[in-house]
Every structure is written in structure tokens, then in C-alpha cells.
């Protein structure tokens, strides 16, 4: 409600003159000059009118007598930062200095005061008021700029809030999705496998060997599908979510990987960890995901009739550490080396080796999420060296791990 009022009054001149004749004269002069004028009998009234909009306040020295206990000094003090209301004080001739000083004491330092001496000339008065109004217009322009900027800031803030809420929702939906993939997609596979095994156990005696083999194939397929779902889940997990990077002791991490994975524990005699390994900036679950996949791969792709022979070691290049898993297995054709890090890509020569084609995609994604890179060096028949390169770090506290 106050805004349109303020806009309507914002260029008016508030004339504060206790003497009726004075007020009338001044008012007429200003009206003739095209000004909007409101006359107030005392400073108290002027103070309350000021809040409704005012371009200039014109006071006579008589009016100042009642200023001391009025609300005007407070009103002036209370102006918004953009506002500095011009005050024009009409003084008695030859007493301007004292009148000015008194006005300053009465109205406070915030007063933007101009003095005009009597006898009053219409031209001087009009010129002083017009100048003050022009200055006031500038103040309004600044006010509008500030308002625009605040509106813009508010809308930006609003947009950021909305975006954040939307992102949060997406993350929650993804969480719910992967939870339901994990539960609902895998449950029927386990049941399928359960039924196939129940058949073998309960009716195995009366089944022909061919029938039993078919049941085993059903079981194996269910297992493969289960593994695929698990890998897809692992991939979505390394693709999203917050990763907090911290200094990780590589030797401890590799030990944890080997101990956590049954397939790796069973083959640990084939894995040689070359010390020392050092410390990188990484995320432990993602690192475990990377190196369990690389080690499992290395164990799988052996040359026929040979035992696996795997080495894992770290090399420092400046501020980077490259961790390599080296095998002496079948190796990879250069034509496939780039592709094998893609989703569902498998080197066609090894279709007989079980796998989902997601393992190396997980390694690549996990390395990228940790600000690292990954790659492979290999020659067919001469093994492969898969590496993950990460930022070098120092352990803050050796007791921590």
C-alpha cells in the first residue's frame, strides 16, 4: 500500500512554515514554478508526511524552533542507505551561520542542508528547490538500481535452491533405483538357481545325465546374470555420489583387497606385492573396486596350462603415482586396448573366459572420479600391464590407517 503513495509523492516539496502568510507565499511561488507542494504547520507533521514521500523539505527558521522534540531527527536518521533528503532552510538575513549551526545540532549530522537568506527572492528559491529535486531524482535512480539488483539476486538464489532440490531428488531416485535393482532384480535369479538346485538334489537320481547338465546350465546362467546385475550396480555406485578424497596407504589397501575377495584370497600365492607402494589421494571403496577388478582380471586371463604370475607395484612420477597390475597372461591385441575400457566391451579372442564386460569400465570410471587416469600396455602373448595413475599424497598421521 505504501509504495504507490510514495511514488505519487516522491517529488513533492514539503513546506514547513508555522506562519500562515509565509506558507501561502512560498507555496504559491513554488506552484507557479510547476512544483508539487504540501504545506505543514509544524515539524512534527512534516516528519510524519516525510514517510509518505518527499522530494525536498523546505523549512523556515521559525519552524526550527519546534524541531528539537519532534520526530524529524529520527526520521532523517532512519532513511534507507540510498536516501539523503535535501533540506532547504530559510534563515533571517545575516544570521545564516548561527541558524545553520543550530539546524545541524537539531537535525543531526545526517541532514543534507542548504541555507537561503531572507529577504527571499522567488528566483533564488525556485532555483534552490529545483537543484535539490534533481539531486533527489538521482537518489531515486540509485534506489531503483538497488531494488533491481536485489530482485536479481533473490531470483538467482531461488534458482540455485530449486536446482539443488531437483538434484537432490534425482540422487534420491537413483538411490531408490539401485536399491530396487539390487533387491528385486537379483531375488528372482537366486530363486531360479534355488529351484534348479532343488531339482538336482531331490530328483537327481532319476534324471539322465543330459537333463542334469541342462539344470547346471540354468544355474550357471542365473549366476552370470546375478554377477552382471552386481557389476552394473557397482558401476552406478562409482559413477555418482560424493567422493571424499583422502590420503590412502596403497600397501594397506591392496592387502585389504586381497583379503576381502574370496577369489583373490584363494590365489594369493600368485600375487606378488612389490614394496614400498606409497600413498595416494583416493577414495578407499573406489580404490578397492579398481584393484579387485584388475587383480581378478589378471587371474582370469592366463595362458593355457600356466599358473598365474601377477605383480602389483607403484612408481612415482613427480606428483603422480602410477600403480600397475602386471600379469604374464595372454595379453591384449593393440586393436582392442583402447576399447576394452568401454561398457560391455570384451576382447573377442577370450569369449570363453567368464566376465560381464563391465569390470574395466568400473576401473576407468572409479579412477576418473578420483581425478586419476587409467590405461594398459600389452603385447599379445606377453602379458598385460594395467595401470591406474593418481595424485601422490602424504599420510598425515601414520597411526590413522
Pick 183 or 351: Cβ nearer other proteins? 183
Q: Considering only 182-190, 249-257, 343-351, 357-365, which stretch makes contact with other proteins by CB under 8 A?
A: 182-190
* Three-state SS at 195: helix
Question: Could you tell me which residues come within 8 angstroms of residue 107 by beta carbon, excluding any fewer than 6 positions away?
Answer: 67, 72, 73, 76, 87, 113
Pick 125 or 222: Cβ nearer other proteins? 222
Answer yes or no whether residue 184 interacts with other proteins by CB under 8 A.
yes
Q: Are strands 56-60 and 112-117 parallel, antiparallel or unpaired?
A: unpaired
* Three-state SS at 214: helix
Q: Where are the alpha helices (DSSP H) in 261-383?
A: 262-266, 284-300, 334-337, 359-369
Answer yes or no whether residue 195 interacts with other proteins by CB under 8 A.
yes
Pick 188 or 354: Cβ nearer other proteins? 188
Q: Considering only 190-198, 292-300, 357-365, 371-379, which stretch makes contact with other proteins by CB under 8 A?
A: 190-198
Pick 74 or 203: Cβ nearer other proteins? 203
How many binding residues for other proteins (CB under 8 A)? Answer: 13
Helix (H) or strand (E) holding 376: strand 373-378
Q: Considering only 60-68, 177-185, 288-296, 363-371, which stretch makes contact with other proteins by CB under 8 A?
A: 177-185
Answer yes or no whether residue 176 interacts with other proteins by CB under 8 A.
no
Residue from 271, 276, 379, 373 nearest 334 by CA: 379
Query: Residue 366 burial (CB < 10 Å; 0-12/13-18/19+)?
Result: buried
Answer yes or no whether residue 152 interacts with other proteins by CB under 8 A.
no
Q: Considering only 63-71, 175-183, 300-308, 354-362, which stretch makes contact with other proteins by CB under 8 A?
A: 175-183
Answer yes or no whether residue 179 interacts with other proteins by CB under 8 A.
yes
Q: Considering only 60-68, 92-100, 185-193, 376-384, which stretch makes contact with other proteins by CB under 8 A?
A: 185-193
Pick 193 or 231: Cβ nearer other proteins? 193
Q: Give dist(CA 241, CA 370) in Å, integer.
A: 12
Pick 80 or 262: Cβ nearer other proteins? 262
Outline where DSSP puts E strands in 269-364.
271-273, 279-282, 310-317, 320-327
Q: Give dist(CA 235, CA 231) in Å, integer.
A: 6
Residues that bind other proteins (CB under 8 A): 179, 182-184, 186-188, 190-191, 193-195, 198
Amino acid at each position: 500500500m505504501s509504495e504507490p503513495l510514495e511514488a505519487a509523492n516522491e517529488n513533492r516539496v514539503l513546506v514547513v512554515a508555522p506562519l500562515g502568510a509565509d506558507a501561502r507565499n512560498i507555496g504559491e511561488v513554488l506552484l507557479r514554478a510547476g512544483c508539487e507542494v504540501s504545506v505543514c504547520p509544524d515539524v512534527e507533521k512534516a516528519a510524519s508526511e516525510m514517510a509518505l514521500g518527499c522530494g525536498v523539505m523546505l523549512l523556515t527558521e521559525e519552524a526550527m524552533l519546534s524541531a528539537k522534540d519532534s520526530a524529524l531527527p529520527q526520521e532523517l536518521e532512519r532513511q534507507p542507505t540510498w536516501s539523503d533528503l535535501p533540506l532547504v532552510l530559510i534563515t533571517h538575513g545575516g544570521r545564516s551561520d548561527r541558524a545553520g549551526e543550530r539546524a545541524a545540532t537539531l537535525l543531526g549530522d545526517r541532514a543534507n542542508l542548504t541555507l537561503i537568506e531572507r529577504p527571499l527572492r522567488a528566483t533564488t528559491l525556485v532555483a534552490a528547490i529545483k537543484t535539490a529535486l534533481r539531486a533527489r531524482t538521482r537518489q531515486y535512480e540509485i534506489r531503483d538500481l538497488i531494488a533491481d539488483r536485489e530482485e536479481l539476486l533473490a531470483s538467482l538464489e531461488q534458482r540455485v535452491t530449486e536446482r539443488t532440490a531437483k538434484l537432490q531428488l534425482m540422487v534420491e531416485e537413483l538411490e531408490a533405483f539401485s536399491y530396487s535393482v539390487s533387491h528385486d532384480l537379483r531375488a528372482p535369479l537366486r530363486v531360479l538357481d534355488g529351484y534348479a538346485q532343488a531339482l538336482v538334489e531331490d530328483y537327481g537320481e532319476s534324471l539322465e545325465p543330459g537333463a542334469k547338465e541342462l539344470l547346471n546350465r540354468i544355474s550357471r546362467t542365473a549366476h552370470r546374470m546375478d554377477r552382471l546385475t552386481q557389476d552394473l550396480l557397482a558401476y552406478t555406485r562409482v559413477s555418482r555420489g560424493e567422493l571424499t578424497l583422502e590420503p590412502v596407504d596403497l600397501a594397506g589397501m591392496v592387502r585389504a583387497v586381497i583379503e576381502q575377495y574370496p577369489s583373490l584370497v584363494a590365489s594369493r600365492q600368485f600375487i606378488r606385492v612389490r614394496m614400498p607402494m606409497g600413498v595416494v589421494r583416493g577414495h578407499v571403496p573406489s580404490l578397492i573396486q579398481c584393484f579387485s577388478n584388475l587383480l581378478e582380471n589378471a587371474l582370469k586371463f592366463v595362458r593355457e596350462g600356466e599358473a598365474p604370475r601377477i605383480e602389483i607395484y607403484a612408481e612415482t612420477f613427480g606428483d603422480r603415482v602410477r600403480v600397475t597390475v602386471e600379469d604374464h597372461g595372454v595379453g591384449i591385441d593393440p586393436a582392442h586396448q583402447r576399447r576394452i575400457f568401454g561398457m560391455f566391451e570384451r576382447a573377442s579372442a577370450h569369449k570363453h573366459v567368464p566376465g560381464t564386460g563391465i569390470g574395466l569400465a568400473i576401473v576407468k570410471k572409479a579412477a576418473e572420479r578420483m581425478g586419476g587416469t587409467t590405461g594398459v600396455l600389452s603385447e599379445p602373448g606377453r602379458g598385460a600391464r594395467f595401470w591406474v595413475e593418481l595424485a601422490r599424497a602424504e599420510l598425515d598421521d601414520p597411526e590413522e590407517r
